[in-house]
Structure 1
């Protein structure tokens, strides 16, 4: 990372800048989400409103068509076929007995008569708007200046019927700029029923399987009818939709701001908490707030405790006990891991030095980081402390992970020096890295530790259950002892012992103990 990027990262990676960025990002994200949701809710509400209006129009049109069909059937059944007084009276009876029949007329040859001869609603003759198999249809929009024109005219044979505009307009009031159009399914010709004509099809196109189309200036609701010849279209302007959208945004805006503020507060506390770990780690070392726990190691044959692995924990000021996964990687990246290693070594000998002197068959293993085996440093400290507490070097072992052996040449020298002073060297978590048989032959090691993941796989994971026996055979070829980690079941312990593993550790035997609990465990074992 370049110096400028590192400087920028340090400048930004603070609680307040990151909290502000999180708040702005959350405001943008939740604001866009609120806008989408408000728009969706507004469209749904407008769709329901237009659907309700359209259904009332549709019901009225079906009622009108039903009465017109019934009236035409009656006229067809009566024998009169000429314009005389009897025919005029029959036409008037049809208008009197049918609510939605405004005018009835007979048109045959050169004869033409109507139930309302002085005020005809048919208008000038023109080709029919819809030509059906038996009937012809004419539609007149309410925007036309002649109020006497019928909204709908139907003709079958010699008879022609009309219905008034008021029979449609009294159902529901159209919104400002709205229109009700009939579109034939055979073509794309729009026929206005109420309101001004509208362009069809819309420039945006009509999405398939969608009833509501929101165009740049209008809302268009399409209603399939029971008739195979036409559909209904209800047009409305966007004013109602925009009003609903504004209302929805005003209701969702406080929620978006609150969620963004909550995100910023959480980010602030999270960053401050994470930053407090490296900041407070040196103080924790000075206050000796790190705690050492001991994971007992048992001989699998005799089931006796032969040692323990020293594990470090951090007791925070709030009382939480953090495991090494929370601060060891951070300490390795910051270079504070050396102080932790020295601290653990001092604590082990301070707590158990006298006890180890009384029990020369016990040993404690201490984990070393990559930087601990990169330079010859730890052996001098160990020698000084062993002399101070009068502990044999064979009772202090050192564990290194495969990932900590990246620099093999430097690690070989340090590990060889430790072995020369009498310490045992353990390769921890073996099998999870890149070690091979040839690689291990070059390392000065005494013990291989099988990773817990391979112990858990015994009898469960067919692909990995054979790794542990393979590691044991590899260790025997190199004349190394084997310690299995994470043993939790008796069957695992028995199987590993049968395969040749000498020792094991895990919750089957004991959980990590304090120094006092570990001493009591060994004393009860001796008793």
Structure 2
């Protein structure tokens, strides 16, 4: 390991630094997510508002165009001509009867009169924007922000009717900088009815192939209003505004909430690191002070009920008498590398305590759990060879248990496990069925025995979904000519059922609790079944 990497790891392995990094990373992630959520929400709201505005404009425009056509048709059909009092009365009556008719006018090239005498008729001086066989249209007659000015004019024969800007915007007003356009000449030209002139076409790939009403571009929202007339289409354009002014107050609350949550994450990381470092230091001291104890969970032949071996278990009893669960300190020891020292301690203790018993009972064996770090390197073989030579114990009396989760690299694990088997050690797969070891891998591994996890034993005889797992594992083991050990047997019915399924060995509180070396020796030498005291009653 390079000195630079060692220095880098030492810098990182500081509680406050790691907590700060975790808090900053969490804050960045949460703030980014909050900002993305805010922008998405604002954009969705903007699009929904534009859809609603476009639908209301379209509905109003259809009403206006329909009423203007009906009004000008009515005027053209009546027989009064000229600008006499009768004509003025007719024009005023049309304006009175039709809500959207702002002004009605008559012009025959000589005379001109209007229901609003003060209204100018500047559009009469220019050609209509749309010239149809029946109607002529003048668009954008007023872009001033005054509701009392004509904005759209329709003519038939000598009569014209117009609607005001107020009639177009009383349902919904244009957004600032927005425009209502009439698109002519097959989409090549656009004239604003309301609002300023807009660049047309709005994008290089206009028109879009899809027929959806709303088109969203980088800087504008474009709502297309499809009409029945082939001469023109209507388009509502609204510029996209800045996101920040529209941010909802509730969404803004995500920012302080994100900061608060990131602070909590940093504090939790700090506490976890301190606790793990404190436990790591305590575990190191516990090894020196002899606080770790090795207990032995006997393994029995299910038919003869004779003890054939045991699994070595390590327990940590504090000076105040409390027990620290292996579920806490074993994973921590694996992460810190202290598990190697614990494994060596277990091997040393069991051979020191049970060496004489093992020499006197060649059929007896003790199994030791191996962590993933020892499965992946050949170190443990050298350690156990030295201890076996020292205590004159046969290699076949020390077995090694590995979990499926410990087989990180199956090829490397296979070579190291085979090296242990070559000198006489048994290899057991512990907690089989809870990991990811497939049948194909299992066939290639140098294994002597499978141990079925307690969870599957508990499911036997019940309607649980996993009740059929244990029989399946048993059949698979028999097919591969492997022995089977059932863990966690607590009831006689379980033992009988497993025995009927062809399981020869079992361990659990039905037979004995974990025992200290003296109790285990008595159990073996007396050759009888013994129900030991609980492990937390042991000194």
Between the aligned partners of 1:132 and 1:303, the Cα distance in structure 2 is 106
TM-score, length-normalised on structure 1? 0.71
CA distance in 2, matches of 1:145, 1:246: 30
Residue 285 of structure 1: how far off its partner (Å): 1.6
Secondary structure at 1:496 match in 2: coil
Cα gap change, 1:330 to 1:526, in 2 (>3 Å): closer
CA distance in 2, matches of 1:484, 1:158: 106
Q: Distance in 1 between matches of 2:418 and 2:164?
A: 103
In the TM superposition, what are the counterparts of 1:148-297 in structure 2 within 5 Å?
Answer: 150-169=150-169, 174-183=174-183, 186-203=186-203, 209=212, 211=214, 213=216, 215-216=218-219, 219-220=220-221, 222=223, 224=225, 229-236=232-239, 238=241, 241-245=243-247, 250-297=252-299
SS, match of residue 91 in structure 2:
helix
- Supply the distance in 2 between the matched residues of 1:525 and 1:462 (Cα, whole angstroms): 26
Structure 2 CA distance for partners of 1:295 and 1:368, relative to 1, 3 Å: closer
Instruction: Pick closer, same or farther for the CA change 1:291–1:191 going to 2, 3 Å.
Output: farther
Q: How does 1:369-408 map to 2 (within 5 A)?
A: 370=374, 371-375=379-383, 376-382=385-391, 397-401=397-401, 406=415
Deviations 1:93-120 (A, max 9, x none): 2123223223334566x66644346644
What is the root-mean-square deviation of aligned Cα atoms in Å? 4.8
Task: Render the CA deviation track for 1:175-203: whole Å, top value 9, x for unaligned.
Answer: 54443334469415333222222223334
- Residue correspondence of structure 1 range 109-508 to structure 2 within 5 A: 113-116=112-115, 119-121=119-121, 123-130=123-130, 134-140=134-140, 142-143=142-143, 150-169=150-169, 174-183=174-183, 186-203=186-203, 209=212, 211=214, 213=216, 215-216=218-219, 219-220=220-221, 222=223, 224=225, 229-236=232-239, 238=241, 241-245=243-247, 250-314=252-316, 320-323=324-327, 326-327=331-332, 329-330=334-335, 335-337=340-342, 339-342=344-347, 344-345=349-350, 349=354, 363=364, 365-367=366-368, 370=374, 371-375=379-383, 376-382=385-391, 397-401=397-401, 406=415, 411=420, 415=423, 425-429=425-429, 448-452=448-452, 460=469, 466-472=475-481, 482=483, 484-486=485-487, 489=494, 490-497=496-503, 503-507=504-508
Q: Secondary structure at the match of 2:382?
A: coil
Residue in structure 1 matched with residue 6 of structure 2 by the alignment: 6
Q: Where does structure 1 lack aligned partners over 5 or more consecutive residues?
A: 384-392, 417-424, 441-447, 476-481, 498-502
**Residue equivalent to 1:72:** 72
Contact 1:141–1:194 under 8 Å retained in 2: no
Shift in Å, 1:367: 1.5
**For the Cα contact (< 8 Å) 1:42–1:248, is it kept in 2?**
no
CA shift, 1:406, in A, is: 4.0
Contact residue 121 and residue 162 of structure 1 kept, 8 A:
no
SS in 2 for 1:101: coil
Mapped partners of 2:513, 2:190: distance in 1 = 83
Distance in structure 2 (CA, Å) of the matches to 1:19 and 1:438: 42
Distance 1:325 1:378, change over 3 A: same
The residue matched to 2:305 in structure 1 has which SS? Answer: coil
Q: What displacement does 1:81 show?
A: 6.7
C-alpha contact (below 8 Å) 1:185/1:230 kept by paired residues? no
CA displacement at 1:130 relative to structure 2: 3.9
C-alpha spacing 1:118/1:460, structure 2 compared with 1 (3 Å): closer
CA positional deviation for 1:87: 4.7
Higher mean alpha-carbon deviation, 24-33 vs 133-142, is at: 133-142
Distance 1:88 1:143 in 2: 27
SS at match of 1:493: helix
CA shift for structure 1 position 398 = 1.0
Deviations 1:331-384 (A, max 9, x none): 76774145422464278549xx8xx69x9699451417553421432125535x
Q: Tell me which residue corresponds to 2:536.
A: none
CA distance in 2, matches of 1:505, 1:244: 69
Q: Which residue of 2 aligns with 1:513?
A: 514
1:373 is paired with a residue whose SS is helix
Q: Aligned pairs, how many?
A: 480
Aligned counterpart, 2:534: none
Determine the structure 1 residue equivalent to 2:460: none
Partner of residue 20, structure 1:
20
Aligned CA distance change for structure 1 residues 285 and 139 (closer, same or farther; 3 Å): same
Provide the C-alpha distance between the structure 1 equivalents of 2:314 and 2:391, rounded to a whole number of angstroms: 18
The answer to whether the 8 A contact 2:310-2:365 is kept is: yes
Unaligned runs of 5+ in 2: 408-412, 458-465, 532-539
TM-score by length of 2: 0.70
Shift of 1:152: 0.7
What SS does structure 2 have at the residue aligned with 1:399?
strand
- Cα distance per residue 1:374-405 (max 9 Å; x no partner): 1432125535xxxxxxxxx6899311357778
1:438 & 1:53 partners in 2: Cα distance? 70
